Amino acid sequence: MIDKQLLRKRFSDHARTYDEYANVQKKMANQLIGSLPKSDKSIDILEIGCGSGYLTRILCEVFPHATITAIDLAPGMIEVAKERMGEKRVTYLCGDIEEMMLHKTYDIIISNATFQWLNNPKKVIGQLYTLLKSGGVFTFSTFGAKTFQELHTCYVQAKLKLQLQTSSAPGQAFYSKTELVGLCERALAVSKSTFPNEITGTQQFEREYFQNARAFFTSVQKIGASNSNKTNSIQRPSFFRELIKLYETNYRDENGIRATYDCLFLSIKKIGLLHNDGVDETVGVDIKT
């Protein structure tokens, strides 16, 4: 389970170094934008996990007449996003989407590299879907099960070599694409919406290379994405020395040591459904755990 207070602090503390190191996250944001239907109409957009405002800025450029509500858990990120934008049509809300109450409905709900930090993604997905207008699109990216597979493999090998009996891991577990699509299907099944829907999922792998393992760990730290699980990780110096040795021995080539990102993209479209009076069946709900 994610410790949200720790997560909030880490992202706030590293809000001003996030953009320098979040190369894969930027690629994911650009792909999300490319998948959206373009519109020059006045529409309402909800962004979950706006971070430093990278995706928010692109949304403003692509949808010049949109009204945008941008939410993030970390006040430090909200501060940087506000400095970056200066757009009056963007409303920023600082809070945890798992605890917030929202009543408005939206044409587009979008989130980049955020849903891996949710403790109950199924519930949030179902509730956000009910905030989607008929014909609207809910799209998000997150990290899949093979993300940092090199680190996870070395972590297990180091535990075995040092004979450490612990179930700890270097971070939270991620879903595979199949598991995430199934999660979305189950979330929508219990959302009490009578709208038909279309769910699509795609997957792509990105690799980054670093001079050494410590540079990789620094890059993760500089975006605030260090382990924020409530369960403790192994803190022994001997363990980290062995972990780094294994990483640099087993996953180095001419480009440096590699880190794999398993990038998942989910899109949910709410297909319009009209009553006899021609009114869309779309209602807002509270989002609250």
pTM of the model: 0.90
Structure tokens given for 49? 């996990």
d(CA 36, CA 44): 14
Contact 48, 140 (CB under 8 A): yes
Return the minimum-mean-pLDDT range out of 48-57, 104-113, 162-171: 162-171
Residue 222 has pLDDT above 80, yes or no: yes
The secondary structure of residue 115, as a DSSP letter, is G
Q: Are 113 and 49 in contact (CB under 8 A)?
A: yes
What six digits make up the tokens of 185?
């299907």
Can you give the pLDDT at residue 233?
A: 67
Whole-number Å distance between alpha carbons of 216 and 229: 19
Q: Is the dihedral of CA 93, 262, 19, 234 positive or negative?
A: positive
The model's confidence at residue 271, banded by pLDDT at 50, 70 and 90, is: confident
Q: Please name the residues in contact with 51: beta carbons below 8 A apart, sequence gap of 6 or more.
A: 11, 15, 18, 22, 25, 72, 74, 77, 81, 112, 114
Residues paired with 70 in a beta bridge: 47, 92
Q: Does 120 have pLDDT greater than 60?
A: yes
Instruction: Report the distance separating Cα 222 and Cα 22, nearest Å.
Output: 9
Residue 273 pLDDT: 55
Task: Name the DSSP letter for residue 73.
Answer: S
What does the domain layout of the chain look like in residue ranges?
A: 4-144+173-205+262-270
Fold designation for 4-144+173-205+262-270: Rossmann fold (3.40.50)
User: How far apart are the two ends of the chain, measured CA to CA in Å?
Assistant: 15
- Using CB atoms within 10 Å of the CB of residue 190, give its burial: 0 to 12 exposed, 13 to 18 middle, 19+ buried: exposed
Gap between the Cα atoms of 87 and 285, Å rounded: 27
Which H/E stretch holds residue 57?
helix 54-62
pLDDT at 216 over 50: yes
What is the Cα–Cα distance from 12 to 228, expressed in whole angstroms?
13
Interval 17-65: pLDDT, tens: 999 999 999 999 999 999 998 888 899 999 999 999 999 999 999 999 9
In the chain, % of residues over pLDDT 90: 76
Q: If you search the block for the tokens 């829907």, which residue do you land on? A: 197
Whether residue 275 has pLDDT greater than 80: no
| pLDDT of res. 231 | 62
pLDDT score, position 276: 42
Per-residue pLDDT, 289: 34
